[in-house]
Amino acid sequence: EVQLLESGGGLVQPGGSLRVSCAASGFTFSSYAMSWVRQAPGKGLEWVSAISSSGGGAYYAESVKGRFTISRDNSKNTLYLQMNSLRAEDTAVYYCARGGGSSPLDYWGPGTLVTVSS
């Protein structure tokens, strides 16, 4: 059974940093692109970033480019999102999802809430 579980969310001050993680199981992690998608409270879905299966290619939404970095450790079956220079508008539930440009987002984790506030 495919499982994705995010962790690392919490409260952070504006301008601060946070790293969220996504532990994957039940499939060959190194064979799939992975993505982060976020949802601000009461709003729709916004794609944030994606990374190729090998980690050699990374893609970002314009809203986070230069501030967020996606990475993965295929030996640990874990996806990461390093978030720097956080802003109030980054407050959202962050979901990891299997897939990206080369495949649909077919499995999603339950999400982790990131709140940026002073």
Partner 1 sequence: EIVLTQSPATLSLSPGERATLSCRASQSVGIYLAWYQQKPGQAPRLLIYDASNRATGIPARFSGSGSGTDFTLTISSLEPEDFAVYYCQQRSNWPITFGQGTRLEIK
Considering the complex, state which of residue 10 and residue 101 has its C-beta at the smaller distance from partner 1. 101
CB of 41 to partner 1, least distance (A): 12
Q: Residue 118 Cβ, how far from partner 1 at the closest point, in Å?
A: 27
Cβ proximity to partner 1, 42 vs 75, nearer residue:
42
Q: Report the residue number, 13 or 50, with the smaller CB distance to partner 1.
A: 50
The DSSP-derived string for 70-102 is EEEETTTTEEEEEE-S--GGG-EEEEEEEEETT
The one-letter code for the residue type at 55 is: G
- Least Cα distance to 112 among 8, 30, 39, 32 occurs for 8
Residues that bind partner 1 in the complex, under the rule CB under 8 A: 35, 37, 44-47, 50, 59-62, 95, 99-111
Phi, psi of 89 (to 5 degrees): -75, -5
